[in-house]
């Protein structure tokens, strides 16, 4: 049985689940928002054996029978609404979340993209850049700081041609809208320089602008590496950040990676303790491959639809035979770094 943890309306999970069932796999799909209202979870140790019981809708499943798990994008536990004291309600919600995470962490199965602790570690942008450098990948000159003077010096060194990003993947909840805060990559302007002192309140990540021939979204699944070109320079809307999507005007193509880059991508994912990773790179006009970041649980259905890359099939294969498609750190030499 394969366990899929995700929200109810997840097209990525829908695509994979349908293929798994076509291949004859047994699937248990569960969203954390079902707990504790419409589902219960119990861990029992009896006669030297462990059982993890999931009960909902009249069924009782032992999750220790699972052979693999996919931690896709589950929601959050929803409290019952019957606890009058707000403090106790918050406590109950936090206990529910803790129980869920402890249960999955203790479930001895291979996870895609990886165990919770590995996913959290892999979100560390400093660690990503450090490992990429150790593997000999090119990275943009980068500064992560809350120091206005360090920022101004970095800005001067690169002639003002720098961009800024949030230094982490945290999405801050909005009190007014109930939504999330998302910020695209932006060029640093002279106006931004004038507000440099505001860095004291919150750090930012700055990078020198890298000239682009096109960009790459490289999806690593198990031992497979699937790369797609994003021709973001074809339209002004996507030149700085292809997530501004200009459908119909941005060409997408399958890309054949140099063998050394392919191995470096596999090695990066393995060193992060993952079985999946969505890697973003730039290919420069002179043919250099420049690493930007890796998202340990990135979206991929759109790039599959645009290019035909068999990403869903690769996920199915890895979930059904995780031992046979597990990336492991290898002793291959690091890439020769560009001067």
Query: Which residues, at least 6 apart from 131, have a Cβ–Cβ distance to it below 8 Å?
Result: 268, 271, 272
- The predicted pLDDT at position 186 comes to 80
Strand order in the sheet with 162-165: 142-145, 204-208, 162-165, 186-187
- Token pair of 24, please? 């004859």
DSSP letter string, 239-258: SS-GGG--TTTS-EEEE---
Q: Long-range contact list for 236-242, CB < 8 A, 24+ apart?
A: 239/212, 240/163, 240/184, 240/185, 240/186, 240/187, 241/184, 241/185, 241/186, 242/215
10-23 confidence digits (pLDDT tens): 999 999 999 999 99
Q: Is the pTM of this model over 0.85?
A: yes
Inter-residue contact 206 to 188 (CB < 8 Å): yes
HSE of 82, CA atoms in CB hemisphere, 13 A? 3
* Fold type of domain 120-124+211-325: D-amino Acid Aminotransferase; Chain A, domain 1 (3.30.470)
117-162 confidence digits (pLDDT tens): 999 999 999 999 999 999 999 999 999 999 999 989 999 999 999 8
Collapsed DSSP state (helix, strand, coil) of residue 287: coil
Going by their DSSP bridges, the two strands 162-165 and 204-208 should be labelled as antiparallel
Task: Select the CATH number that applies to the domain covering 141-208 from these four: 1.10.287, 3.30.1490, 2.30.30, 3.30.70.
Answer: 3.30.1490
Give which of 17, 276, 10 is closest to 1, Cα–Cα. 17
Domain chopping of the chain, boundaries: 2-109, 120-124+211-325, 141-208
* pLDDT digit string (tens) for the chain, length 339 residues: 999 999 999 999 999 999 999 999 999 999 999 999 999 999 999 999 999 999 999 999 999 999 999 999 999 998 777 788 888 888 888 999 999 999 999 999 999 999 999 999 999 999 999 999 999 999 999 999 999 999 899 999 999 998 888 877 655 443 334 455 566 778 887 788 877 888 888 898 999 999 999 999 999 999 999 999 999 887 877 766 766 666 778 889 999 999 999 999 999 999 999 999 999 999 999 999 999 999 999 999 999 999 999 999 999 999 999 776 766 655 444 555 443
């Amino acid at each position: 049985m394969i366990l899929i943890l995700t929200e109810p309306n997840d097209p990525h999970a829908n695509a994979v689940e349908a293929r798994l069932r076509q291949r004859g796999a047994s699937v248990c799909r569960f969203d954390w928002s079902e707990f504790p209202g419409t589902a219960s979870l119990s861990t029992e140790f009896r006669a030297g054996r462990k059982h993890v019981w999931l009960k909902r809708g009249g069924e009782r499943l032992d999750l220790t029978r699972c052979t693999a798990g996919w931690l896709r994008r589950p929601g959050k536990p929803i409290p019952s609404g019957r606890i009058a004291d707000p403090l106790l309600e918050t406590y109950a919600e936090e206990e529910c979340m803790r129980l869920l995470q402890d249960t999955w962490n203790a479930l001895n199965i291979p996870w895609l993209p990886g165990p919770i602790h590995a996913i959290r570690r892999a979100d560390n942008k400093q660690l990503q850049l450090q490992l990429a450098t150790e593997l000999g990948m090119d990275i943009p000159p980068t500064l992560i700081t809350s120091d206005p003077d360090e920022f101004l010096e970095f800005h001067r060194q690169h002639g003002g041609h720098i961009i800024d990003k949030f230094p982490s993947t945290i999405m801050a909840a909005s009190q007014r809208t109930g939504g999330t805060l998302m910020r695209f990559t932006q060029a640093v302007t002279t106006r931004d320089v004038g507000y440099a002192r505001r860095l004291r309140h919150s750090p930012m990540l700055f990078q020198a602008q890298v000239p682009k021939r096109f960009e790459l979204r490289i999806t690593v699944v198990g031992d497979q590496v699937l790369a797609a070109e994003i021709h973001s320079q074809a339209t002004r809307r996507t030149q700085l950040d292809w997530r501004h999507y200009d459908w119909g005007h941005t060409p997408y193509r399958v890309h054949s990676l140099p063998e050394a880059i392919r191995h470096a991508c596999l090695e990066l994912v393995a060193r992060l303790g993952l079985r999946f990773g969505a890697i973003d790179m730039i290919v420069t006009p002179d043919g250099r491959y420049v690493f930007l970041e890796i998202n340990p649980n990135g979206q991929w259905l759109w790039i599959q639809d645009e290019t035909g890359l068999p990403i869903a099939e690769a996920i199915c294969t890895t979930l059904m035979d995780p031992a046979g498609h597990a990336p492991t750190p290898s002793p291959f030499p690091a890439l020769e770094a560009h001067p």
